[in-house]
């Protein structure tokens, strides 16, 4: 490995980072991480910080799961790659598919199509939804519905159903036939409705109206995150997801639950769908499926969807997929990660630690009047929205957001900014003392505003 000076001199010089400005990052280079342990990240300057972001909502098992590390190392030696197109497979892929099916049995999922990450999984789900309707003799069902503020990755399909214009406008025009329903965002919404249940009523009405307007027979699928993560940790009223699911069933529209963040215990239940008592037609997963130690995602389908594909003629063949679909190292990582997730019962820690984080953030809101909204309390994800004027809800200036982020980091906690929101989704194995430290460090950072 090159020395520290080399790393600093070449930082962001030859690498364009996702979700960042390449010029600005040359001016203000990104933090260089060189190691991690437990729930901590270690940087080149010698700081050790709690990773309150859990990588990117993904390092659910923390950074020190030796079983997972060992599995990956062994697999690389045994079978570093194997194509899974058509006529070949690998032992780990078979085992991983069995483990995934068992993990998601209570959600009614019957088959998995492995991908390299969440964006691939979403794109696969959207494609398979269209193909499903063609196979059933309704090729006119091609449109997609989704929620504003939802995040579904960055492939063309996922970006088209994304509900945040930051990820859209530079790349438009996107896929035609994608329509967006208002988000369960009590702090800001077009209905001026702060009550979560009444907001859910409005959203259900808006979706029913959109379905009638588009014509149910033209819509292939609706996709939503059970709790909207990157959009700011928007926790809907418990009635919303079941009612939207019902609306889809009534109109022949496939319901896709995007569980890329919510899956694998983050909500305090094994899946967000299960948390809200919904059985979707399809699910998309990634991140926690390997705790991000190896890039893997998946599109899962129910028995009923599987049957349509498996019993149809030649048109049932799936002509999409990735070189790394069911990668033997990734598949082995899935098997170990799922068994570690169950062994450590991470969902049972996510619940109380999530409540602790949320309540701590609410206490900070009482102390600092620039905290406009605090969202969370359902599992281990929390959003703190900063405003410069609480009455006008004016989003906090980005310079101040950056300053708060830096101050929190210097105090000992790594957070993530999503516009004027501080977003947190720590590893699900975090301890009570570590969550307390996050709150203390945020307090220190807010005191600098
Ligand atoms: C809900 C959701 N769907 C899809 C994606 C895209 O996943 P990836 O970044 O692995 O492509 C993400 C990523 O954050 C996500 O949060």
Number of independent structural domains in the chain: 2
Is residue 353 included in any domain, yes or no? yes
CA pseudo-torsion sign 331, 332, 338, 344: negative
Residues lining ligand 1, CB < 6 A?
56, 117-119, 122, 151-153, 225, 229-230, 258, 260-261, 286, 297
Dist. CA 295–CA 8, nearest whole Å:
27
- State whether 143 and 290 are in the same domain: yes
Dist. CA 351–CA 100, nearest whole Å:
22
Is residue 15 included in any domain, yes or no? no
Helix (H, G, I), strand (E, B) or coil at 222: strand
Dist. CA 338–CA 294, nearest whole Å:
13
Contacts of 52 (CB under 8 A, 6+ apart): 413, 414, 415, 424, 425, 426, 438
Pocket test for ligand 1, best of 124, 126, 152, 183 (most atoms within 8 A of CB): 152
- State whether 217 and 229 are in the same domain: yes
Distance of CA 48 to the CA centre of its chain: 25
pLDDT at 357: 98
- Which CATH number belongs to the domain containing residue 109 in this structure? 3.40.640.10
Please report the atom of ligand 1 found closest to the CA of residue 118. Answer: 7
Is residue 7 included in any domain, yes or no? no
Pocket test for ligand 1, best of 18, 19, 261 (most atoms within 8 A of CB): 261
pTM recorded for the entire structure: 0.98
pLDDT more than 70, % of the chain: 100
pLDDT at 7: 97
Please report the atom of ligand 1 found closest to the CA of residue 229. Answer: 16
Going by C-alpha positions, the residue among 283, 129, 122, 313 that lies closest to residue 218 is 129
Is residue 18 included in any domain, yes or no? no
pLDDT at 86: 84
What spacing in Å lies between the alpha carbon of 106 and ligand 1's midpoint? 23
pLDDT more than 90, % of the chain: 99
What spacing in Å lies between the alpha carbon of 126 and ligand 1's midpoint? 14
Q: Could you tell me which residues are beta bridge partners of residue 227?
A: none
Please tell me the residue having the least CA distance from ligand 1 atom 5: 153
- State whether 299 and 384 are in the same domain: no
Is residue 16 included in any domain, yes or no? no
- State whether 353 and 423 are in the same domain: yes
What spacing in Å lies between the alpha carbon of 230 and ligand 1's midpoint? 9
Is residue 2 included in any domain, yes or no? no
Count the Cβ atoms, other than its own, within 10 Å of residue 445.
22
Contact 57, 229 (CB under 8 A): yes
Pocket test for ligand 1, best of 18, 57, 153 (most atoms within 8 A of CB): 153
User: Residue 1 pLDDT more than 90?
Assistant: no
Going by C-alpha positions, the residue among 419, 425, 421, 399 that lies closest to residue 19 is 419
Q: Mind listing the pLDDT tens digit for each residue in 302-327?
A: 999 999 999 999 999 999 999 999 99
Please report the atom of ligand 1 found closest to the CA of residue 120. Answer: 11
**Strand 371-375 to 297-302 pairing:** unpaired
- State whether 158 and 294 are in the same domain: yes
For 136, the token pair is 């059933």
- State whether 311 and 219 are in the same domain: yes
If you write DSSP's letter for every residue of 412-448 in order, what string do you get? TEE-EEETTEEEE---TT--HHHHHHHHHHHHHHHTT
What spacing in Å lies between the alpha carbon of 123 and ligand 1's midpoint? 11
Q: Mind listing the pLDDT tens digit for each residue in 122-166?
A: 999 999 999 999 999 999 999 999 999 999 999 999 999 999 999
Please report the atom of ligand 1 found closest to the CA of residue 155. Answer: 11
Q: Domain ends where: 295, 322, 344? A: 344
User: Residue 345 pLDDT more than 90?
Assistant: yes
Helix (H) or strand (E) segment spanning residue 127: helix 118-135
Dist. CA 110–CA 441, nearest whole Å:
44
- State whether 104 and 189 are in the same domain: yes
Q: Give the range of the structural domain holding residue 144, as residue numbers without chain letter.
A: 68-344
Q: Mind listing the pLDDT tens digit for each residue in 75-108?
A: 999 999 999 998 999 999 999 999 999 999 999 9
Dist. CA 33–CA 18, nearest whole Å:
16
Is residue 338 included in any domain, yes or no? yes
- State whether 364 and 215 are in the same domain: no
Give the mean model confidence (pLDDT) for residues 400-420: 97
pLDDT at 95: 98
Is residue 424 included in any domain, yes or no? yes
- State whether 315 and 431 are in the same domain: no
- State whether 241 and 252 are in the same domain: yes
What spacing in Å lies between the alpha carbon of 71 and ligand 1's midpoint? 24
DSSP state, residue 392: T
pLDDT at 227: 98
Give the mean model confidence (pLDDT) for residues 226-239: 98
Q: Mind listing the pLDDT tens digit for each residue in 393-403?
A: 999 999 999 99
What spacing in Å lies between the alpha carbon of 285 and ligand 1's midpoint? 8
CA pseudo-torsion sign 309, 323, 176, 314: negative
Integer angstrom CA distances of residue 258 from 23, 153, 162, 177, 324: 33, 10, 11, 19, 21
- State whether 237 and 364 are in the same domain: no
Distance of CA 431 to the CA centre of its chain: 22
Give the mean model confidence (pLDDT) for residues 335-363: 98
Q: Domain ends where: 294, 312, 344? A: 344
pLDDT at 413: 98
- Which CATH number belongs to the domain containing residue 372 in this structure? 3.90.1150.10
- State whether 313 and 388 are in the same domain: no
Q: Domain ends where: 301, 324, 344? A: 344
Q: Mind listing the pLDDT tens digit for each residue in 176-199?
A: 999 999 999 999 999 999 999 999
């Amino acid at each position: 490995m090159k020395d520290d000076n080399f790393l600093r001199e070449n930082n962001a010089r030859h690498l364009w980072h996702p979700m960042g400005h390449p010029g600005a990052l040359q001016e203000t280079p990104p933090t260089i991480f060189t190691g991690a342990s437990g729930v901590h990240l270690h940087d080149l300057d010698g700081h050790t910080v709690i990773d309150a972001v859990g990588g990117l909502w993904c390092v659910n098992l923390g950074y020190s799961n030796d079983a997972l590390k060992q599995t990956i190392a062994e697999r690389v030696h045994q079978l570093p790659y194997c194509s899974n197109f058509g006529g070949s497979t690998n032992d780990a892929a078979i085992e991983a598919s069995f483990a995934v099916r068992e993990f998601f049995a209570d959600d009614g999922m019957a088959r998995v199509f492995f991908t390299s990450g969440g964006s691939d999984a979403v794109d696969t789900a959207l494609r398979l939804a269209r193909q499903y309707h063609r196979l059933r003799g309704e090729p006119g069902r091609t449109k997609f519905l989704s929620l504003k503020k939802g995040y579904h990755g960055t492939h063309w399909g996922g970006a088209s159903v994304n509900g945040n214009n930051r990820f859209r406008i530079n790349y438009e025009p996107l896929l035609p036939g994608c329509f967006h329903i208002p988000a369960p965002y009590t702090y800001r919404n077009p209905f001026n409705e702060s009550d979560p249940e009444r907001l859910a009523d409005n959203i259900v009405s808006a979706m029913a109206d959109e379905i009638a307007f588009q014509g149910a027979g033209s819509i292939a699928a609706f996709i939503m995150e059970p709790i909207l993560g990157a959009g700011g940790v928007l926790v809907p009223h418990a009635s919303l997801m079941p009612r939207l699911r019902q609306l889809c069933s009534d109109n022949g529209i496939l319901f896709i639950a995007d569980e890329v963040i919510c899956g694998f215990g983050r909500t305090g239940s094994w899946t967000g769908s299960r948390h809200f008592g919904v059985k979707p037609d399809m699910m998309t997963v990634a991140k926690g499926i390997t705790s991000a130690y190896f890039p893997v995602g998946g599109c899962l389908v129910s028995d009923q969807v599987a049957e349509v594909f498996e019993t149809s003629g030649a048109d049932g063949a799936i002509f999409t997929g990735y070189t790394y679909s069911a990668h033997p190292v990734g598949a082995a990582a899935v098997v170990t990660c799922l068994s570690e997730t169950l062994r450590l019962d991470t969902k049972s820690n996510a619940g109380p630690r999530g409540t602790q984080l949320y309540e701590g953030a609410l206490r900070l809101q009482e102390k600092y009047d620039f905290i406009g909204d605090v969202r969370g309390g359902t599992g281990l994800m929390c959003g703190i929205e900063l405003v410069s004027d609480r009455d006008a809800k004016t989003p906090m200036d980005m310079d101040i957001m950056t300053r708060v982020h830096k101050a929190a980091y210097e105090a000992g906690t790594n957070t993530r900014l999503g516009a004027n929101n501080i977003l947190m989704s720590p590893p699900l194995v975090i301890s009570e003392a570590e969550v307390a430290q996050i709150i203390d460090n945020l307090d220190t950072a807010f005191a600098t505003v």
